Structure 1
């Protein structure tokens, strides 16, 4: 039998401890151990972006990262963006308003990629948006509505920062 590791990971603001096999991917840990099935598995090679989660705020492919590598880190999944009452956050709302999904398979990864952009870049350009979503494959939408949702979320975040006088993004 292979080796195991004790891991403690902050997932969506909640500390989670588990014993995982050394070869367990972060995606499998999230889906199978924590029942967070919003993290989708597509290619399982880190190419499609369906398994994107935020690791300390940075988008990562959870299918090619080991759960043991996340020990002591903070992970945000799509389930962690809505509030405790299930209300969608502004990026999720922008995706809904823009009809930026069809089959929905890529949506969690896309939303998390845009969330990272909103959190880290104060005035993102069109190129920044394309770069942010560029690692996520959508086979349905043609990206038009996804880009529209990203621009909408970016504008809403900019207005919110201006209203509160808060900076925070670069």
Structure 2
């Protein structure tokens, strides 16, 4: 089977890799680019642990083929912080203890950031709905929702 050459932008950097036509974007990110933040929780798009944004759209990277990333802009959890400076969302997750085992956290952070970029003033209901595709077995969600809501408020006040 021949490999495909993919040229894409990940977290602002142009990258290239070779992949089999049936390799997922998740596998390419983890195995070819060493970006291990996105996790495979289910492999069927049901848990959200592998969430990334592709051209600004939230996607489960386990459901997208690596070859489909050609020419796209991808953001992973590794691209949320700016160098050593945590994003306000990451700070609030720590402050609220909105993470425990860490399997779901990267996907939830990517999804929450995507929400706040599309809707900087979400209601609690909108936040819960947006994050409904991200499963967490440890935190109970309330701390996550509070962290996202407070980040939204903080970002609005800063702008």
**TM-score scaled by structure 2?**
0.96
Q: Which runs of 5+ in 1 are unaligned?
A: 162-170
Which residue is 1:146 aligned to?
A: 144
Map of 1:130-141 to 2, 5 A cutoff?
Answer: 130-141=128-139
1:94: Cα distance to partner? 1.1
* Alignment correspondent of 2:34: 35
- Corresponding residue for 1:125? 123
Correspondences of 1:81-160 after superposition (within 5 Å): 81-84=80-83, 86-160=84-158
How far apart are the structure 2 equivalents of 1:77 and 1:122? 20
Local SS of the residue matching 2:133? coil
Q: State how far apart, in whole Å, the 1-side matches of 2:142 and 2:148 are.
A: 10
TM-fit CA distance, 1:87 = 1.9
User: Which whole-Å CA distance do the structure 2 matches of 1:122 and 1:35 have between them?
Assistant: 31
Kindly state the Cα deviation for residue 128 of structure 1 after the two structures are TM-superposed.
1.2
- The list of structure 1 runs, each at least 4 consecutive aligned residues, that deviate by more than 3 angstroms after superposition, is none
**By how many angstroms is 1:57 displaced?**
2.0
Distance 1:111 1:153 in 2: 11
Q: What is the root-mean-square deviation in Å for CA atoms of aligned residues?
A: 1.0
Residue 134 of structure 1 aligns to a residue whose secondary structure is helix
Unaligned runs of 5+ in 2: none
Q: Give the structure-1-normalised TM-score.
A: 0.90
Aligned residues: 159
Give the aligned partner of residue 65 of structure 1. 64
